[in-house]
């Protein structure tokens, strides 16, 4: 009887090991916030396989791939019908060669392919949702070679959010392929409180739209401006970290904002350790847009292995002072001007002696340590901090723009 029990326990362990291994592998996908591109902000439902292929080509040719952008994500409207056995198929008109062939092409370019579904009966655009087909859909994605799943929250009346996302998480693990799991639940059920270990990232609010400071109000929903997203995310920093990220939504850089606004938008997403999912047409970028999106100094702030979301330490005379601790003892500092007029300030480093008690337990300690100052948008070194209280410099921050430093510990 004891031998039988040992034999059964051994068999059970052997069966469980692949599942455990898959879970560990999936978590390793999100040690830093994800970087890539999504079709929705620019193309919405007007997508097809040729567009996706051309975007993949442009990601490589433009240097975005080399800068770290990995995922090519197809958002809503790729779906066709389910087959006789219930397995989802691609829209045959717009994806005539199927998703597997498209995944093979994207992989051949050294990139990864993402896809979209919904926890409800239908997607937001009325295509088949995954409700009741979670294990089938996850298996289909694995067969196709999918690397990323954005999972939306439309048409979910009487569906329990935590249960629905955990169910799809389990289905992905059972399918046997590591797939990044991006939860798009809009923050309705406060996912930051329960989603760690379920999703790799979770949306913290409604959809973004291409506006710096104006909320878009509809009868039944809203779209958030960049400022809205920042303000919603600021209070949630204790929930973010390696393997689990707050997601204030995709980037609108290159979609019609001013260069100043684009620079501020990108900077604040990096300061908040947010996913960097591009939403512009990367086949037709201005030089200014490309320079912003490929700024390796800023990307390094976002991708820092310490994985701490930045904090808004001080608001004074219209300017916001943000700090983000970095893995090697450095700090990122951003002076953010959200207003519509240029503002100036006088910097005294002793005003910024702070301790991040909530997350990292790290202190700037400007009264004890000297830092070299690198301006991350000009690329220039701008001297050092000092240990005593005095006005170091006067700084002017243009309207809706930023000045960002890397403070390099000596």
Active site (catalytic) residues = 152, 207
C-alpha 81/C-alpha 91 separation (Å) is 7
Cβ distance 164 to 144 under 8 Å?
no
Separation in Å, CA 50 to CA 41, 96, 97, 98, 377: 18, 10, 10, 12, 35
Give the integer Cα–Cα distance in Å for 172 and 175: 5
Give the CA-trace dihedral at 158, 188, 306, 320, to 10 degrees: 180
**E strands, 225-282, where?**
245-247, 276-278
Cα separation values, 221 from 41, 111, 207, 228, 384, Å = 17, 34, 9, 14, 48
24: Cα separation from own chain's centroid: 20
**Alpha-carbon distances, residue 5 vs 10, 13, 128 (angstroms):** 9, 12, 45
E-state strands within 122-280: 148-152, 180-183, 201-203, 216-217, 222-223, 245-247, 276-278
Strand partners, 355: 363
Exposure string for 362-399, b = 16+ CB within 10 A, e = fewer: bbbebeeeebbbbebbeeeeeeebeeeeeebeeeebbb
Is residue 29 within 8 A of residue 180, CB to CB? The reply is yes
């Amino acid at each position: 009887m004891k031998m039988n029990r040992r034999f059964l326990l051994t068999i059970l362990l052997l069966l469980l090991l692949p599942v455990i291994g898959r879970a560990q592998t999936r978590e390793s996908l999100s040690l830093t916030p994800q970087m890539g591109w999504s079709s929705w902000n620019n193309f919405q439902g007007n997508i097809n396989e040729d567009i996706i292929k051309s975007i993949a080509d442009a990601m490589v040719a433009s240097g975005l791939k080399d800068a770290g952008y990995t995922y090519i994500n197809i958002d809503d409207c790729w779906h066709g019908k389910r087959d006789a056995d219930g397995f989802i198929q691609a829209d045959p008109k717009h994806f005539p060669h199927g998703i597997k062939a498209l995944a093979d092409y994207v992989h051949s370019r050294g990139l990864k392919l993402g896809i979209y579904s919904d926890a409800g009966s239908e997607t937001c655009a009325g295509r088949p949702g995954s409700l009741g087909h979670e294990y089938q859909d996850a298996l289909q994605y694995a067969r196709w070679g999918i690397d990323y799943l954005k999972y939306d929250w439309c048409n979910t009346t009487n569906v329990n959010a935590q249960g629905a996302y955990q169910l799809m998480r389990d289905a992905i693990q059972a399918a046997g392929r590591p797939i990044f799991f991006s939860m798009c639940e809009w923050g309705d059920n406060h996912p930051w409180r329960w989603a760690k270990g379920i999703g790799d990232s979770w949306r913290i609010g409604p959809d973004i739209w291409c506006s710096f400071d104006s909320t878009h109000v509809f009868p039944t929903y809203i779209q958030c401006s960049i400022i809205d997203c920042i303000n919603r995310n600021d209070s949630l920093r204790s929930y973010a970290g390696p393997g689990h990220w707050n997601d204030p939504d995709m980037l609108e850089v290159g979609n019609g904002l001013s260069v100043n606004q684009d620079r501020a938008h990108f900077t604040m997403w990096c300061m908040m350790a947010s996913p960097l999912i591009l939403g512009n047409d990367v086949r037709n970028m201005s030089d200014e847009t490309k320079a912003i999106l490929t700024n390796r100094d800023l990307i390094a702030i976002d991708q820092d292995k310490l994985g701490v979301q930045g904090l808004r330490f001080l608001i004074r005379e219209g300017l916001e002072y943000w700090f983000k601790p970095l893995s090697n003892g450095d700090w990122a500092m951003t002076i953010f001007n959200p207003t519509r007029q240029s503002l100036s300030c006088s910097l005294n480093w002793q005003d910024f002696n702070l301790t991040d008690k909530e997350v990292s337990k790290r202190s700037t300690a400007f009264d004890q340590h000297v830092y070299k100052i690198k301006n991350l948008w000009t690329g220039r070194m701008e001297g050092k901090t000092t240990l005593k209280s005095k006005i170091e410099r006067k700084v002017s921050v243009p309207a809706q723009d930023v000045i960002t430093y890397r403070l390099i510990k000596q």
